[in-house]
Amino acid sequence: MAHFFLGLNPAVMRFEPYIPSINHIPRLRAKDVSLITCPNATVYVFPSVGGYFGGDLISGAIASGIAENEGVSLLLDIGTNVEAILGNKEWLVAIAGSAGPALEAGVADCARRAEPGAIERVTIDPATFEPSYSAIDDQPAYGFCGSGLIDLVAQLYLSGLLDSTGRFVLDKKTARWREINGRMAYVLDEGVNGQTPTYLTEKDIHNLLTTKAAMIAATTILINSVGVALEDIEHIYTAGSFGIHIDVDSATTIGLYPKLPKERFITLGNGSLAGARAILLNAERINEAEHIADTITYLELNVHPEFMDIFRSARYI
């Protein structure tokens, strides 16, 4: 995004070694980048570290305080890309790469943005296999957002309707099984007033487990690279539009999050916005952003020699 904002050619990031045209951007004037409001105001663009690791995560690092902590912490930014930072005030190691758009609207048949009516919370009775759910703003339910998808898959697994490979256990008898468009599905909501039912297919689950596997590969490689034990991580900060709403129990059930005590997880919300706000309120923190970018040891996930082996083994619940 920084490349587009600055009018730089982003094509170089499509090829190995996947590096930006520039990492540290000099201070600019608003008029230099076609901002007509306050044309002489200073514009600060957060530094980048790699092709998949932009200023948004540097900003999130400021918001989390990971570079100020004594103990080891992990910052996870969940979205189309997998981005993570591990470390403390002495050292920082980061990894990033493509994760796949499984949590985005339009990938699953019934996926939606997190907007009124999207199912965001799901539970399934393990005895009757009947679901209960809530939709955003208590509007009539239609489709599910990313947090609803994660809840649904976790609940299907815990109730025995889904095996560890992501396949339905059709021997479990329930009226919720339905063949839709030639594929078996679990129907979460029947739909009203002619609306299409809200349902989940094995293909949707496969897409989610692919994204999960990329996240697990990233955190595993990151942790192994510095020899830190998983249980030694004191805090896990979750950021990004999906990280705000994801239920920690559901995420750990399917393996999206590391299996650590729930109290260690801290939701940042929009970490990049929080970091930008911190710098607007205190311009001296620009030095902190530059220091973090210079301190980080960066690993490129998609070309790491262990990536595919870990990725394949992690595509299970």
The set of residues, in sequence order, having a beta carbon less than 8 Å from that of 155 and lying 6+ positions away, is: 122, 123, 124, 131, 250
Examine the fold and report which residue of 170, 202, 234 is the final residue of a domain before the chain moves on: 202
pLDDT of 243 = 65
Domain stops at, among 165, 187, 202: 202
Residue 186 in any domain: the answer is yes
Residue 207 within a domain = no
pLDDT for the residue numbered 44: 93
Token digits for 50?
Answer: 């790699």
Q: Which domain holds residue 35?
A: 1-45
Q: Which of 143, 139, 141, 140 is nearest to 112 (CA)?
A: 143
Domain-embedded: residue 69: no
Q: Which helix (H) or strand (E) holds 6?
A: helix 2-6
Per-residue pLDDT tens digits of the chain, which is 317 residues long: 887 888 887 877 777 767 777 788 888 899 998 888 899 999 999 998 877 788 999 999 999 999 999 999 999 987 777 889 999 999 999 998 776 665 665 568 898 888 899 999 999 999 999 999 999 999 988 899 889 999 999 999 999 999 999 999 999 999 999 999 999 999 999 887 667 899 999 999 999 998 899 889 989 999 999 999 999 999 999 987 666 778 999 999 999 999 999 999 999 888 999 999 999 999 999 999 999 999 999 987 777 889 899 999 999 99
Q: Is residue 280 part of a domain?
A: no
β-strands 265-269, 235-239 pairing: parallel
Classify residue 230: in a domain, yes or no.
no
Evaluate whether residue 185 is within a structural domain. Answer: yes
CA 305 to chain centre: 23
Does the residue 102 lie in any domain? no
Spatial distance between the Cα atoms of 160 and 155, rounded to a whole number of angstroms: 8
Q: How many domains does the chain have?
A: 2
Contact residues for 42 (Cβ-Cβ < 8 A; gap 6+):
27, 28, 29, 30
Q: Which of 164, 186, 202 is the last residue of a domain?
A: 202
Is 261 inside any structural domain?
Answer: no
- The pTM of this model reads 0.87
